[in-house]
């Protein structure tokens, strides 16, 4: 995997806020998302540990992007892959996985405590088949990959001038790895967790209790438990972003910056923008992650019928 993805200045928002806002273009990774980094780290660690051998099988439960990253590497390295997903994700993800030749298993969405959850289903399948279970949520090779690559890339690309970093958590790997690296370089760098509605991390960081309210159309982010990866994160504050704010930012980036980003990326950028507004004119350097492309969700986010059903009408960013 090639990494060294560009750090793109988001000119429209930087001009509004008087701060430099940058997005790391992770949609340019080979598998199309930030999850390529976790997949690469997990597979290489498993190979070093002898858990994954030539001709072996990788099993994972995922909302899609980690599965795509794993399947891409599996195809390159001669492994088979079995991917378990909830059946309510964007159609483009299933189509991509089928093209990669995976064995795709879909299950009904359910709470994590339910043994039919995609996470537990993947674990059982790996055990039954004697296959390697990637276990992206608890496998700390995930956050280590970001500590070794994403964090240093952001530091170097900003010439050490980064003053804040904002990111959502799905497994917690990205925010954990990046925050630990950046804090080692400069403890004063502000780390902001971005949480969608329906996730419990914002509540945990602000009240100490994992609770959720509402729901979100974002995919692959937000959790109701503390994973081994998330526990490694060094976070200064947390913010919730609702779907209306997210979809407005998604369309703003498309129409004003020519950036077609996915839902989690739009969520991240909105939180970076709000932090910049709160520090307007202070010349901060704020980095975030453009996790994947809007083209992975076109059947939803560019579908007027879907948006109307969800009562999501993009607004001008300045008016939110």
**Cross-strand partners of 190:** 164
Per-residue confidence (pLDDT) for residue 318, from 0 to 100: 76
- What does the mean pLDDT of the chain come to? 96
201 contact partners, CB below 8 Å, separation of at least 6: 169, 193, 195, 210, 222, 223, 230, 238
Per-residue confidence (pLDDT) for residue 2, from 0 to 100: 66
Per-residue confidence (pLDDT) for residue 317, from 0 to 100: 87
Q: Is-contact 149 37, C-beta < 8 A?
A: yes
Q: Which position among 9, 24, 35, 316 bears the catalytic label?
A: 35
CA–CA separation, 272 and 241 (whole Å): 11
Mean pLDDT of 108-122: 95
The string of pLDDT tens digits covering residues 121-140 is 999 999 999 999 999 999 99
In percent, how much of the chain has pLDDT > 90?
Answer: 98
Q: Is-contact 273 245, C-beta < 8 A?
A: no
Per-residue confidence (pLDDT) for residue 3, from 0 to 100: 83
Catalytic site residue 35? yes
CA–CA separation, 303 and 204 (whole Å): 34
The string of pLDDT tens digits covering residues 305-314 is 999 999 999 9
The string of pLDDT tens digits covering residues 229-287 is 999 999 999 999 999 999 999 999 999 999 999 999 999 999 999 999 999 989 999 99
């Amino acid at each position: 995997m090639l990494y060294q993805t560009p750090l793109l200045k988001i000119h429209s928002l930087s001009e509004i806020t008087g701060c430099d806002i940058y997005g790391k273009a992770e949609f340019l990774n080979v598998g199309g998302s930030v999850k390529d980094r976790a997949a690469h780290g997990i597979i290489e660690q498993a190979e070093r540990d002898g858990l994954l051998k030539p001709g072996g099988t990788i099993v994972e439960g995922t909302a899609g992007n980690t599965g795509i990253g794993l399947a891409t590497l599996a195809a390159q390295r001669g492994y088979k892959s079995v991917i378990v997903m909830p059946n309510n994700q964007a159609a483009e993800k299933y189509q991509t996985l089928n093209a990669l030749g995976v064995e795709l298993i879909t299950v009904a969405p359910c709470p994590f405590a339910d043994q039919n959850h995609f996470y537990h289903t993947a674990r059982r399948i790996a055990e039954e088949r004697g296959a390697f279970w990637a276990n992206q949520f608890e496998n700390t090779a995930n956050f280590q990959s970001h500590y070794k690559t994403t964090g240093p890339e952001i530091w170097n690309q900003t010439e050490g001038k980064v003053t804040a970093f904002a990111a959502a958590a799905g497994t917690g790997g990205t925010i954990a790895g990046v925050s630990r690296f950046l804090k080692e370089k400069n403890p004063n760098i502000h780390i902001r967790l971005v949480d969608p509605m329906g996730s419990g991390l914002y509540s945990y960081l602000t009240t100490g209790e994992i609770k959720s309210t509402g729901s979100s159309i974002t995919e692959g982010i937000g959790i109701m438990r503390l994973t081994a990866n998330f526990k490694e994160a060094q976070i200064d504050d947390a913010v919730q972003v609702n779907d209306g704010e997210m979809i407005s930012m998604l369309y703003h980036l498309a129409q004003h910056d020519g950036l077609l980003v996915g839902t989690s990326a739009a969520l991240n950028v909105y939180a970076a923008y709000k932090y910049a507004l709160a520090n307007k004119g202070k010349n901060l350097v704020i980095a975030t992650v453009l996790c994947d492309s809007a083209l992975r969700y076109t059947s939803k986010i560019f579908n007027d019928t879907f948006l109307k059903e969800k009562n999501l009408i993009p607004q001008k960013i300045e008016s939110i």
